Amino acid sequence: MNTENLAVVIGGTGSIGGAISEQIRSLGFKEIIKIGRMTNPSIDFNDEQTIKNAAEFIKNKKKAISILFDATGILHDEENNQMPEKTLKNINLKFAQKNFLINTIGPSLLIKHFAPLLDSEQKSVFATLSAKVGSISDNGFGGWYSYRASKAALNQLIKTASIEMKIKNKNSIFIALHPGTVKSKLSKPFQKSNLKIQTPEESAAHLITIIKELKTSETGKFFNWDGTELPW
Ligand SMILES: NC(=O)c1ccc[n+]([C@@H]2O[C@H](COP(=O)([O-])OP(=O)(O)OC[C@H]3O[C@@H](n4cnc5c(N)ncnc54)[C@H](OP(=O)(O)O)[C@@H]3O)[C@@H](O)[C@H]2O)c1
């Protein structure tokens, strides 16, 4: 991986995204661009033009991207006082749409606009924060309909993009990552004492080790924070 290139963290303003940016610095990258809804450039998944403008901004730097890390996502919606659905009768259109917009459609537009900027001469990585609850074969508890489904769809997107990108850029790697249960605004209502809870720094250190050690043959896979492969 060419550390003279750029590293870009979308959702670099979030808990895990912020810690990932620091970890990327320890790999030797000098230019790490953190993007959130209030940064310059900014990205808001409600507006594709913001994604296009941010990609244009990066392109004008005339350097390729070696790490593109997507740390965006929602689980609950504070503005509308909406928690993940425990049962079918809790499903509502607005909350379901918001989950799919931010957890699935937004990342797909990131791939659309940013994949052409990934380094094609040496290893480059597009990693997105998915969640283990998005694994269909691992679903033992049910509930959290919109979040689970939006992350399962995100996983399918990563797999599909990895297949197209094998032809377009054979040095690019597309992966989904489960960060573990990590202390953040997103997980705050669900931090049970029986769960292993990591700080964003601990989780980010594990995730960056995975990225560092990835081989191009591992594109299109889903990894747990400890480096083990997760089933779709
Ligand atoms: N924390 C956990 O335990 C846990 C477990 C499994 C998976 N994950 C996944 O890890 C990811 C990050 O979680 P986190 O705990 O770090 O959450 P967080 O601190 O709440 O960060 C969420 C990020 O998403 C961005 N975002 C929200 N709405 C957006 C929109 N409309 N357009 C663009 N960006 C938007 C936020 O940007 P602003 O700063 O601009 O608001 C922020 O950077 C999520 O995908 C989550 O599902 C987390």
Tell me the pLDDT tens digit for each residue of 16-69. Answer: 999 999 999 999 999 999 999 999 999 999 999 999 999 999 999 999 999 999
Query: How many Å lie between the centroid of ligand 1 and the Cα of residue 13?
Result: 9
How far apart CA 99 and CA 76 sit, in angstroms, is 9
- What residue's CA is closest to ligand 1, atom 17? 186
Pocket of ligand 1, beta carbon within 6 A: 11, 13-17, 36-38, 43-46, 71-75, 102, 106, 129, 131, 178-179, 181-182, 184-187
Position 194 scores a pLDDT of: 66
Identify the helix (H) or strand (E) that includes residue 141: none
- pLDDT band of residue 232 (cuts 50, 70, 90) is very high
How far apart CA 191 and CA 187 sit, in angstroms, is 6
* All domains of the chain in start order, with CATH: 6-224 (3.40.50.720)
Query: How many Å lie between the centroid of ligand 1 and the Cα of residue 180?
Result: 13
- What residue's CA is closest to ligand 1, atom 10? 129
How far apart CA 169 and CA 161 sit, in angstroms, is 11
How far apart CA 115 and CA 68 sit, in angstroms, is 9
Tell me the pLDDT tens digit for each residue of 173-228. Answer: 999 999 999 999 898 888 776 678 999 999 999 999 999 999 999 999 999 999 99
How far apart CA 159 and CA 124 sit, in angstroms, is 16
Q: Output the CA angle 179-103-34, nearest 5 degrees.
A: 65
Query: How many Å lie between the centroid of ligand 1 and the Cα of residue 196?
Result: 19
Q: Output the CA angle 176-9-33, nearest 5 degrees.
A: 160
How far apart CA 125 and CA 66 sit, in angstroms, is 6
Tell me the pLDDT tens digit for each residue of 124-159. Answer: 999 999 999 999 999 999 999 999 999 999 999 999
- What residue's CA is closest to ligand 1, atom 35? 72
Assess contact for 138 and 231: CB atoms under 8 A: yes
Pocket probe for ligand 1: among 8, 15, 16, the residue whose CB has the most ligand atoms within 8 Å is 16
Evaluate the CA torsion angle 221, 115, 165, 45 in order and state its sign. Answer: positive
Query: How many Å lie between the centroid of ligand 1 and the Cα of residue 12?
Result: 9
Position 195 scores a pLDDT of: 74
Assess contact for 6 and 61: CB atoms under 8 A: yes
- What residue's CA is closest to ligand 1, atom 8? 131
Query: How many Å lie between the centroid of ligand 1 and the Cα of residue 19?
Result: 12
Tell me the pLDDT tens digit for each residue of 87-96. Answer: 999 999 999 9
Query: How many Å lie between the centroid of ligand 1 and the Cα of residue 185?
Result: 8
Closest CA to 11 of 107, 142, 152: 107
What φ, ψ does residue 125 adopt, rounded to 5°? -130, 135
| Residue 195 burial (C-beta neighbours within 10 Å; 0-12, 13-18, 19+) | exposed
Position 64 scores a pLDDT of: 98
Position 111 scores a pLDDT of: 98
Closest CA to 161 of 200, 114, 196, 100: 114
